[in-house]
Amino acid sequence: MLALFLTGVPNAGKTTLGAYLTKQLNAWQGPTSFLDADVVRKQWWPGLGLSAQDRRQNVVSLGMIASAILMARTNVVVACIAPYRETRNAVLDMLRCDGDNDVLQVCLTANVDALRSSQRDGIKRLYARYDLGEVVGLTGMDAIYEPPEPHEAAFIDTTNLSLDETADCVWEDLAKVILHNTQN
């Protein structure tokens, strides 16, 4: 089975890319579930706040759901800020526990102008609200985001890439993971 774990700061493109990759995987590889951290948090754990402990709990809980999906022989795409490296790595280890799973962590990045653009910040207006002092604890601004180490993830700068181009980068990186796993 396949697990794609998309991480990065707000507005880097995780949800948009995750939904797109899920559609592609459904067509090419069979059943694929999409877990968007914001949606799952609102539906299942609406009481979680933005403390470090609550953020860790959200990521671990997403990991447990993703693991159950993999055990049900369904691919999974997870889109989650997951700001803490240690928590992310624990979840990724959980997803890899069955040696048959191919797991790829993708860290999406973009320059701050792109993150703040009306195209990306339009609905939630996180950065606009942050600038007005209405949002405190914005990951990557006044709340920590620990990016993966270079050997832990594929990095894709989405600043100037289309959705198709970004997806193509993911497929290239995934092919390397699958090839590596079949050789070991």
What percent of the residues of the chain are helix, what percent strand, and what percent coil, each to the nearest 5?
50, 15, 35
Residue 183 has pLDDT above 80, yes or no: no
Residue whose tokens read 């759901």: 65
Query: Helix, strand, or coil here: 39?
Result: helix
Output the pLDDT for position 179.
65
Residue 174 has pLDDT above 90, yes or no: no
Output the pLDDT for position 123.
81
CATH class of this structure's domain 2-113+144-183: alpha beta
**Mean pLDDT to the nearest integer, 75-89:** 97
* Average pLDDT over the chain, rounded to an integer: 92
Residue 98 has pLDDT above 70, yes or no: no
DSSP letters spanning 119-174 = HHHTTT-HHHHHHTT-----BTTTB---PPPTTT-EEEE-TT--HHHHHHHHHHHH
Entry pTM? 0.94
Q: Which of 77-94 are b and which e, b meaning 16 or more Cβ less than 10 Å from the residue's Cβ?
A: bbbbbbbbbebbeebbeb
Output the pLDDT for position 81.
97
Percent above pLDDT 90 for the chain? 79
Where are the chain's structural domains? 2-113+144-183
Q: Is 136 left (phi over 0), alpha (psi -120 to 50) or beta?
A: beta
Output the pLDDT for position 101.
86
Output the pLDDT for position 177.
77
Task: Residue 164: count other Cβ atoms within 10 Å of its Cβ.
Answer: 9
The number of residues making up the chain comes to: 184
Output the pLDDT for position 99.
67
**Mean pLDDT to the nearest integer, 14-40:** 95
119-143 per-position pLDDT tens digit: 998 888 999 999 999 999 999 999 9
